Amino acid sequence: MAGKTASGRRVLITGASSGIGAAVALFLADRGYKVWGTTRNLSKVASFPEELQKKVTFLAMDVTDRDSVHRGVEEFLRQAGGIDILINNAGYGVFGPIEEFPVERVEALFGVNYFGVLRVLQEVIPVMREQGSGLIINITSLAGTFVIPFQVHYSATKYALEALTEGLRQELRPFGIKVTAVAPGDIKTRFNDVTDWEMKEDSPYRQWAERCWRTIEENMEKAPAPRVIAEKIARLAEKKNPGPSYPAGDFLSVQLPLVNRFVPRRLREKLTRCFYRLD
């Protein structure tokens, strides 16, 4: 894949109907990539922004359903004739105390954020392996490294996805397939609006959880637009040998991995509690 120009390169993006996925799809399409995006319900495409409808071809895919993933990838390959870049973006967040969050809903979260990625990978990897080329970009999160209180289950899915990415890099290297992760910090999307909440009315955690959520919402208001993620991905798509994982977002988000490297864990926990107003 090294040396290819953007023009004609075929890209499949899961969860491309809004937020980061839509921004990436449009950014790459404007630079000459041929972009297909997935959505669970094709009947909703007519309500998408006109620019998105014109520049991106949408396919039906529910990443929680193996048959749906198979059909979606099969249709993509029928239309595209092959694949150059896969971007695993589909996912959502949850918020609530670990003690009170139903296990079944945590399982559903992993079904999308982790197993959804795995289902798509298992359909696409054989094609890339036969081609002897391809680039896989998994959208993880800085929350996978810096765990946000009351968003622990979301962080766990993204931590798992970082591990999956690292393992894939090793397993697919002999076949000429490149694998990397992009880990966004706070990005101004509707992520908070669609976050799955769970907290009892009389929860003993309520005062701390509400403080934490206020901080999360304030950060979202100040966060950069998803274009910064699109720009990062476009740069990675041109790299001959991308590294394991790239933080993305505002200046602080990009610098946070340095904190992880040099700050002792106890101090990092203390800084997190202070930042989210838990102390």
pLDDT digits 0-9 by tens, 26-35: 999 999 999 9
Residue of 33, 154, 159, 276 marked active site: 154
30 token code pair? 């404007």
Q: Are 165 and 140 in contact (CB under 8 A)?
A: yes
- The percentage of residues in the chain with a pLDDT greater than 70, rounded to a whole number, is 97
Looking at residue 198, its pLDDT comes to 95
Q: What is the dihedral of CA 47, 52, 55, 60, to 10 degrees?
A: -60
What residues does each domain of the chain span? 10-275
- Residue pair 265/259 in contact (Cβ under 8 Å)? The answer is no
Q: Taking the model in full, what pTM does it have? A: 0.94
| pLDDT value at residue 5 | 54
**Is 154 an active-site residue?**
yes
Q: What are the structure tokens assigned to 2, written together? A: 């090294």
Residue 41: half-sphere exposure toward Cβ, Cα within 13 Å: 5
CB 114 within 8 A of CB 92: no
Find the helix or strand (DSSP H, E) in which 75 lies: helix 66-80
State residue 259's pLDDT score: 77
**Own/partner pairs, 235-244, CB within 8 angstroms, 24+ separation:** 236/135, 236/137, 236/180, 236/182, 237/6, 237/9, 237/28, 237/33, 237/85, 237/135, 237/137, 238/6, 240/2, 241/178, 242/135, 242/178, 242/180, 243/180, 244/165, 244/166, 244/169, 244/180, 244/181
Q: Residue length, the chain?
A: 279
- Please list, in sequence order, all residues whose beta carbon lies within 8 angstroms of the beta carbon of residue 16, skipping any fewer than 6 positions away: 22, 24, 25, 35, 37, 38, 39, 56, 58, 89
- Give the pLDDT confidence of 198-226 residue by residue, as tens digits: 999 999 999 999 999 999 999 999 999 99
Phi, psi of 204 (to 5 degrees): -70, -10
Contact 178, 1 (CB under 8 A): yes
| 140 and 93 Cβ atoms separated by less than 8 Å | no
Indicate the class that CATH gives domain 10-275: alpha beta
Confidence of residue 2 (pLDDT cuts 50, 70, 90): very low
Summarised one tens digit per residue, pLDDT across range 27-73 is 999 999 999 999 999 999 999 999 999 999 999 999 999 999 999 99
Per-residue DSSP letter, 264: -
Widest pairwise Cα distance in the chain? 59
**pLDDT per residue as tens digits for the range 131-177:** 999 999 999 999 998 899 999 999 999 999 999 999 999 999 999 99
